Amino acid sequence: MNPIVLGVDTGGTFTDFVLWREGRLRLLKLPSTPHAPEQAILEGVRRLLPEPPPQGFTLLQGTTVGTNRILERKGARTAFLTSEGFRDLLFLARQDRQQLYSLKPTPRPCLAERALCAEVPERLAYDGTVLRPLDVSGLNRLIRRWKREGVEAVAVCLLFAYANPAHERALKRLLAPHFAVSLSSEVAPEFREYERASTTFLNAYLTPPMTRYLESLQREARGAGALRVLLSHSAGGLMDLGRACAHPVSTILSGPAAGVMGAWAVGRGVGAHRLLTLDIGGTSTDMALIDREPLRTPLGEIEGMPLRLPRLDVHTIGAGGGSIARLDAVGGLRVGPESAGADPGPAAYGRGEQPTLTDAHLTLGHLLPQTFGFGNVTIDPDLSAKAIEPLARALGLSLQEAAEAILEQARAKMARGLRRISAGRGVSPESCTLIAFGGAGGLHLCALARMLGIRQWIAPPYPGVLSAYGLLWMDCVHEARRTLLTPLPETSTRHLEGALLELRAECEAAMRQMGAPVGGYELHTFADLRYEGQSYELTVPFEPERPMQARRAFEQLHQTRYGFAMPDRPVELATLRVRAVALNPKPAGACWEPPTNYLSDLPATTSLWLGDKATTVPVLSREVLQPDMPIPAPALIVQPDSTLLIEPGWQAYLDSRTGALIGRSL
């Protein structure tokens, strides 16, 4: 029996749905309900599955709930417990200065309250040896004080706990009856105490609200006929709700990771293996590099706070369709990072007056009101023009020039981000194919490709819901890791056998919890390597029987990334990683089913502005395009979830295998 799978991507502005059933894909886009995200999800389930299927269905979700809780400072009141002498660990951070020449530099953000930070007498050596036994004599008094002050969660991060978690586990047994407890040895079992402490604190901060949300979602989804609910995590895989509740910090890149996986699937389908992905939504733009496979990193950050956990290497900037255009203190034009979101939204929605990137596109004629948001969202271009007029007067520009300046500002930020993730990693942007998605991706695709010297681009079928589609291409993935800090062996790896067995056992337990049968998953081993004396590592595949092969891969990657290698320098194995992957069925070859409520009475042509002049261009529905059909340039290609603006200088055609539009420079 064919599976029924529903992918749902909850964004800040819209919630996207892709249903895979009987070899066909149906899509839907609804406004998000930020106060209760599950409401939009259940409304989409009711519309796409009005009669719950007898065999049930699987619900896959990419969520921004955890991310928004951090951005809006709406997590649980959280205490921090660490080794004696390190109470201010989260506040001291790395003591680096983000503003190098400022006399009063802004410190790194920290969500902890110093009054709720405490110490416990104990000490471990770097290898896990107990130097001072754990003393819990004062813990009961601390628990009573925290309870009086309304603490819901506790983050425990002891020095060198990644090497010996015994003390942290003893504290958890005493704290767990009273609070939600996050241990650094479970959340981030790696070295570098500040990054480990920050990650553990953010995990504890999210645990109570995310647990309430996920339990509510599971309850409602099961009532609607869902057999399983899985969430995407930052490393580009799926996890069960139990792990999501215990490790909610792993969901911070949930939606963007799904978009990267969807772009990877489309790129493989058309034979493009080096991709720059561009996901432009209502609030932000997410970018990533795919070089045969998506790049991963063990370290990231959110709002200036580091995250030490496996994740896809996604770069995010505050520039989306809802990004607000304004004048700064000296009269310069700025776009974002502030966003109008779903409510009040762009000025065209009629609920706000601040001009946004979407309003600039409407003023220039790049969007047709009757096709916006599946034809379900009413917008008024006149309101957009009215909102931009004050900016135009202040800048001494015409209305169209001001709208074009807004686009140029946003595109400059996007181009810098794309260069950072490509050229900044030793990969020329010109060697990549640019794939754009999200509701606004197609409006900037040609312009950004031109700015970066990229000769080929891809517009996926239904790019506005590609993150939801990407969920259908994700596998169940769990990564176990452990810091070792040992010289890379040239021959025998016997001293690594104990660590490998522990990591494999953790992966096997995680796969069983997700329902994968014994032997129904693959195990892959990686190592974080560095030259002796270096501060940061590169991750490469690692076969215990062939350690020197890992060294060669490391030096080749080091040469690409930094422009040099040191073959005579000793190499250190910092962290060992084992990744388990349970393969899920994929919707390869599934046909897209156009929405039945989509408007068909499109104008044959429309007038819009390209650069500094108005021009009349043909309007084509994406549904009518055929592989052998010539596609004019310039042109406006419209579909329910997105609009593609093809600028002059490009030759576009429809790929018969994937339904993607491919453009090549003339």
- CATH number for the domain spanning 545: value is 3.30.1490
Which of helix, strand or coil describes residue 578?
Answer: strand
pLDDT recorded at residue 140: 96
What mean pLDDT do residues 359-369 have? 93
Domain that holds residue 511: 476-582
Q: Name the β-bridge partners of 153.
A: 78, 180
Distance CA 25, CA 303 (A): 36
496 and 509 belong to one structural domain: yes
pLDDT recorded at residue 376: 65
Domain presence at residue 375: no
Phi-psi map region of 368: left, alpha, beta (phi>0 left; psi -120 to 50 alpha): beta
Last residue in a domain, options 566, 582, 598: 582
What mean pLDDT do residues 427-455 have? 95
Number of domain units in the chain: 3
Question: What is the tens place of the pLDDT at every residue in 313-337?
Answer: 999 888 888 889 999 888 889 998 8
Is the peptide bond prior to 337 cis by the omega test (within 30 degrees of 0)?
A: yes
Last residue in a domain, options 159, 184, 206: 206
98 and 176 belong to one structural domain: yes
Q: Give the pLDDT band (50/70/90) at residue 181.
A: very high
pLDDT of residue 354 exceeding 70:
yes
Question: What is the tens place of the pLDDT at every residue in 476-485?
Answer: 999 999 999 9
C-alpha dihedral, 628 to 633 to 639 to 642, nearest 10°: 130
Domain presence at residue 554: yes
What mean pLDDT do residues 121-149 have? 96
For residues 8 and 67, the model is more confident at 8
133 and 235 belong to one structural domain: no
Buried b (16+ CB within 10 A) or exposed e, 633-659: bbbbbbbbbbbbbbbeebebbbbeebb
pLDDT recorded at residue 33: 85
Last residue in a domain, options 561, 582, 603: 582
Domain presence at residue 106: yes
89 and 124 belong to one structural domain: yes
Q: Give the pLDDT band (50/70/90) at residue 1.
A: low
pLDDT of residue 98 exceeding 90:
no
Task: Write down the mean pLDDT value for the chain.
Answer: 91
Backbone angles phi, psi at 19, to 5 degrees: -105, 125
172 and 225 belong to one structural domain: no
Domain presence at residue 34: yes
pLDDT of residue 220 exceeding 70:
yes
62 and 120 belong to one structural domain: no
Domain presence at residue 428: no
The owner of tokens 């991709």 is 275
CATH code of the domain covering residue 34: 3.30.420.40
Question: What is the tens place of the pLDDT at every residue in 472-522?
Answer: 999 999 999 999 999 998 877 888 999 999 999 999 999 998 888 777 899
227 and 164 belong to one structural domain: no
80 and 184 belong to one structural domain: yes
13 and 116 belong to one structural domain: no
Distance CA 396, CA 402 (A): 9
pLDDT recorded at residue 599: 57
Q: Give the pLDDT band (50/70/90) at residue 443.
A: very high
pLDDT recorded at residue 597: 56
State what percent of residues in the chain have pLDDT above 70.
98
Domain presence at residue 46: yes
Distance CA 164, CA 169 (A): 10
117 and 149 belong to one structural domain: yes
pLDDT of residue 598 exceeding 70:
no
107 and 229 belong to one structural domain: no
96 and 192 belong to one structural domain: yes
Domain presence at residue 98: yes
pLDDT recorded at residue 144: 97
Domain presence at residue 388: no
